[in-house]
Structure 1
Amino acid sequence: MVRLRRRWALGLLAGGVSAAALGTTDPVLGRRRTGTLARRQPPPVEVENRAAGEPWWPPRDDRCVDDRQRQIQGYASTTSVAPGESVDFHVAVNPGGRYRISIHRLGWYDGAGARTLLTSPQLDGEPQPVPPADPVTGAIACRWPVSWTVRVPDDWTSGLYQAVFTSADGWRACTPFVVRDDRRAAALCVVLPVTTWQAYNQWPLDGQIGKSLYNGFGATGRTDPAARAREVSFDRPYVHEGLPTQIDRDHDAIQWLERSGYDVSYASSLDLHSGRLDPSRHRGLVFSGHDEYWSVRMRRAAERAVAAGTSLVFLSANSVYWHVRVRDDADGRPGRLVACSKATPDPEQDAAGPTITWRNLGRPEQALLGVQYNGIVRDPQPLVVRAADHWFWAGTGLADGDRIPGMVGGEADGVSPDHPHPTALTATVLSASPYRTRYGSHRVQNSHLYETPQGGLVFASGTFCWAMALNRPGHRDERIVRATANLLDRITGRDAASTDRAAAAGVARR
């Protein structure tokens, strides 16, 4: 499993690891040199996290905006950008007045969680209209003017970034974007689920206009699934203060990965769709959060990656559930609309088929993940361990039947005997956790791991709570931390001692 593939070795060389680290011939002694003589070039994320950080956003702030008053809100012109490229911010201020935009990178930073990289000069803002929903698709796409443009400097490290908009009288909102690294092949690439973020976004959440792929508003002002959109646009703010649904789980994963010293870079799910993210350049892709909405191109890219030996790690549940169509905006900008009819007939059906669940298209998510969505968990339940003698659980002290409290929550996955299973050398069910759904049905949650004939690993946690257990105070569980490190160390070829040292250093600094 830990054999060094040629394309990965080339990626290491491109990423700054010297040839001596891989083993070279000493021209003087004529003998094979070991990697112990080589200097390890630290990955960019490790260097970045040595910088002083500061919290980018209080947990709750009474000056956060709301969608009725829309004191200050904005959106970015792109979901991801590489150094040398530009991102525009479109901001509305109500009433008009002065404001600033600050740019923050989210990471570990000795527990601070972020670093401020740039602050705009004072800008003049004006109110902007909420456009009517498209009468056919329900999409709400703003056409606000550009307020400020940032050319991403060459030294900005790949990561999840937040632009924070602060009005002169203290109102604040934000919007996320990803900075990619197209020049260097990190061991792991974290894929941020922007298509799912937008699917849940019901901006403006004002009781009248807002629509998501789940709900609109009925005549009484209550949310109504019958009034939902079939298409949603990235050209609008996220609701209220601008934090997408479930982004806190992505942040938990990011903080833990960077705290643990893994060599990571970042991309968005739309980068997987467009091909800007090439999975073959990485040992593994980490899907950090709730990643429910997948296009045909996304799924094909993931399947090709698995077939080539790249590993996939899903740290949440209910992944790869809805088939979506990604469309260009009316002005031709790519990837600005996400369409999902969720029913047939699909009036805009194309050769890829209707935008319904993957399992109803005859391609259940289990065929890729090893498990699939089986319910909404009514009350958090313990994760019940299975296969405790597997290397995944090594060093955790767990035995079969041990229960890890509060680990099964939100939504859950399980192995379905009625759907196809992946082609695998080995497949292991790592947990079997009974739970009751929101509607009273009894289900069993499974965490699952399989190894492909090509040498890759595919892990699905099967619960919304996995990333929380890696990082979040009050939820962190050292057994889940160790198991996840076992998995990523095997994928990346990193030894466990390095993980232990990185974790110990993170605890000591905090």
Structure 2
Amino acid sequence: MFRLRRRWALGLLAGGVSAAALGITESASDPQHTGTLTRRQRPPVERENRSAGEPWWPPQEPGRDADDHRRQIQGYASATSVAPGESIDFHVAVNPAGRYRISIHRLGWYGGAGARTVRTSPEFDGVPQPVPPADPVTGTIACGWPVSWTLRVPEDWTSGLYQAVFTSADGWRACTPFVVRDDRRAAALCVVLPVTTWQAYNQWPVDGRSGKSLYNGFAPNRRRDPQLRAREVSFDRPYADDGIPIQLTRDHDAIQWLERNGYDVSYATSFDLHSGRLDPTRHRGIVFAGHDEYWSAEMRRAAERAVVAGRSLAFLGANSVYWHIRVRPAADGRPERVIACAKAIPDPGQDAVGATVKWRSLGQPEQALVGVQYNGIVDGPQPLVVRAADHWFWAGTGVADGDRIPGVVGGEADGLNPDAPRPAGAATTLSVSPYRTREGGQQVQNTHLYETPQGGLVFATGTLCWTMALNRPGHRDERIQRATAKVVNRIVGRRRPPVRPGPTDAQ
């Protein structure tokens, strides 16, 4: 629901904190978690981050990022995730016609470089491709561009968030994301990338005429109009302008923090949770790293089964599990290429689960799973006000009740709703932060944690700015880093220190 400015520094040269600052100690009694593991025994992501990296979106000549008016170069992928050994297609348009190449980059820590280049294609001849008309009923824009390049993912590629970067011979560039899964090995943590939410916000092409998202279309005066929004959106199209999805920065902050601190982590997408390719009970914890607003019934039931099985969930953003969606195949039958969300009744596609409206409108408020639920858009960053400072979550951070941690509450916020059902388990409210909404009202943000009867944890930060406080220069806060590490360490049963602590952020 909250639209972030899209120009940002993706070369996040984020710093870390020491192991002692994170409250992590090493235990030689646990051979799985000692500091004497061989390279072969170390988790794949830890080994991967020992490779030399380089920024995946390096500075170039100003003004060379593609835009939706001229569409100098743009493309999309045939899938949101693939496993090693599987293939993924890229569909690329170049305007005017000319040569281009595709480079593949894995996003991670890499000593602060932020990414590693893993493959560069040969040069290809590219041509312009059309913007198809929107479906007159659903508003869907689905491109049928031909395949430009097929990549078979090597067996040794590490699970992660990858970016395919399309660069034309005259220096224009755009990109599209995809995830490499690890279906063979169950890491302690699995990060679920919210591709359904990325696509819900995607209004490609943002040309003032034809683009549509689940939020807006364009009126004749070229202004965005919610009444002209799409009811269904397709993954068979580029992301707007340079191809970086709105809100991806928040996921990237979480990825860098987790990998910087050496956690055993793998990656999947919303569709993997939806389809069952990701079985959350195989992992100790599932991390929903960013803005994860659009959930199918299958996604929600999978998360609920994980909780019942004693697994843990960490919601590092806000406004999670808000809209109910249906997942549809493309017109040619390819699965998981369209998401539908009518956002109003009547819903012509309503099924046994109910209409594609807010989960709370179906009698299933998100608070029943997450512990808190969305209550507003924050009118400018606000401090997080500490509550329950004697809880183990805050132990060792030096905070007291009422302390204010600046800038942590922002974007969108969650809070406890006394009229909504609350999950079973011992719950603790870790912050009580008053804020003014964008509409001028008053609300209260709550960070929340509950321990389930089955022995798991469900943690919700209740703000979209939490991962910035973990990782982003100028926003990092050591108290937030320490507290978050305590939660994650409890989830994975980890006691050893980070592999590569970075320099403390001087703010």
TM (norm. structure 1) is 0.91
Equivalent residues of 2:202, 2:239 under 8 A apart: yes
CA–CA distance in structure 1, aligned partners of residues 249 and 499 of structure 2? 23
Give the alignment of 1:93-132 within 5 angstroms. Answer: 93-132=94-133
3-state DSSP of counterpart to 1:104? strand
Query: Separation in 1 of the partners of 2:380 and 2:364?
Result: 30
**Contact 2:388–2:429 (CA<8 Å) still a contact in 1?**
yes
Residue in structure 2 matched with residue 310 of structure 1 by the alignment: 311
Tell me which amino acid in the other structure corresponds to 1:187: A
Name the counterpart of 2:49.
49
Task: Look up the match of 1:154.
Answer: 155
Structure 2 CA distance, aligned partners of 1:428 and 1:451?
Answer: 9
Count of aligned residue pairs for this structure pair: 476
Contact 2:194–2:270 (8 Å) recurs in 1: yes
Q: Distance in 1 between matches of 2:440 and 2:187?
A: 44
Distance 1:57 1:301, change over 3 A: same
Unaligned runs of 5+ in 2: 1-29
CA distance in 2, matches of 1:167, 1:502: 38
Could you tell me which residue of structure 2 aligns to residue 327 of structure 1? 328
Return the letter of the residue paired with 1:431.
S
Residue by residue over 1:62-81, the C-alpha shift from the partner in whole angstroms, topping out at 9 and shown as x without a partner, is 10011010000000000000
Hey, what does 1:270 align to over in structure 2? 271
Give the 3-state SS of the residue equivalent to 1:212 in structure 2.
coil
**Cα separation, 1, equivalents of 2:90 and 2:477:** 39
Name the structure 2 match of 1:204: 205
The alpha carbon displacement at 1:379 in A equals 1.5
Q: Which amino acid in 1 is paired with 2:304?
A: E
Partner of 1:10: none
Residue identity opposite 2:419 in structure 1: D
Name the counterpart of 1:379.
Answer: 380
Letter in 2 for 1:193: P
Alpha-carbon distance, 1:219 to partner: 1.1
Structure 2 equivalent of residue 412 of structure 1: 413
The structural deviation recorded for 1:36 is: 9.5
Once the two structures are superposed, residues 31-88 of structure 1 have per-residue CA deviations (whole angstroms, 9 ceiling, x without a partner) of xxx9899868110000000000000114784100110100000000000000000000
Greater relative contact order (CA < 8 Å, ≥ 6 in sequence): 2
Name whichever structure is richer in helix by fraction: 1
Distance 2:36 2:299 in 1: 41
User: Does the CA-based 8 Å contact 1:158-1:180 persist in structure 2?
Assistant: yes
- C-alpha separation in 1, matches of 2:431 and 2:66: 42
For 1:352 and 1:205, locate their aligned partners in 2 and report how far apart those are by CA, in whole Å: 33
Aligned to 2:460: 460
What displacement does 1:507 show?
Answer: 3.1
Q: 2:499 aligns with which of 497, 502, 506?
A: 502
Determine if contact 1:294/1:320 at 8 Å carries over to the other structure. Answer: yes
Per-residue deviation at 1:502?
3.2
Deviation at 1:324, TM superposition (A): 0.3
Question: 1:153, 1:254 → 2: CA distance?
Answer: 22
Partner SS for 1:507:
coil
Alpha-carbon distance in structure 1 between the residues aligned to 2:348 and 2:270 = 25
Once residues 97 and 62 of structure 1 are traced to their aligned partners in structure 2, the CA distance between those partners, rounded to angstroms, is 19
CA shift for structure 1 position 395 = 1.3
Q: How far apart are the structure 2 equivalents of 1:47 and 1:270?
A: 27
Q: Distance in 1 between matches of 2:35 and 2:490?
A: 20
2:469 and 2:476 in contact (8 A); partners too: yes
Deviation at 1:359, TM superposition (A): 0.2
Partner Cα distance (1:438, 1:293) in 2: 22
Structure 1 residue 396 corresponds to structure 2 residue 397: yes
2:193/2:270 contact within 8 Å kept: yes
Task: Give the whole-Å Cα distance in 1 for the aligned partners of 2:37 and 2:421.
Answer: 47
The answer (yes or no) to whether the contact 2:160–2:180 under 8 Å persists in 1 is yes
Deviation of 1:274 (Å): 0.4
1:172 and 2:173 aligned: yes
Q: Alpha-carbon deviation of 1:348?
A: 1.2
Cα distance change on mapping 1:59 and 1:489 into 2, 3 Å: farther
SS in 1 for 2:487: helix
- Deviation of 1:21 after TM superposition, in Å, equals 3.6
Aligned counterparts of 1:190 and 1:38: Cα–Cα separation in 2: 24
Partners of 2:103 and 2:143 lie apart in 1 by: 22
Aligned position for 2:144: 143
Alpha carbons 1:21, 1:39 under 8 Å: kept = no
CA distance in 2, matches of 1:329, 1:473: 41
Q: For residues 487 and 118 of structure 1, do their structure 2 counterparts lie closer, same or farther at Cα, with a shift above 3 Å needed?
A: same
- Return the alpha-carbon distance in structure 1 between the equivalents of residues 107 and 492 of structure 2: 23
Secondary structure of the equivalent of 1:90?
strand
Residues 1:429 and 2:435 aligned together:
no
Matched letter for residue 139 of structure 1: T
Distance, in Å, in 1 between the alignment partners of 2:46 and 2:36 is 21
Letter aligned with residue 493 of structure 1: G
2:36 and 2:135 map into 1 onto residues whose CA distance is 63
Q: Per the alignment, in what secondary structure is the counterpart of residue 192 of structure 2?
A: strand
Distance 2:235 2:99 in 1: 25
Asked whether the equivalents of residues 103 and 164 of structure 1 are also in contact (C-alpha less than 8 Å), the reply is yes
| TM-score (normalizing by structure 2) | 0.92
SS in 2 for 1:502: coil
CA distance in 1, matches of 2:260, 2:37: 24
Q: Which residue of 2 aligns with 1:25?
A: none
Q: Matches of 1:376 and 1:428 in 2, distance apart? A: 23
**Equivalent position of 1:62 in the other structure:** 63
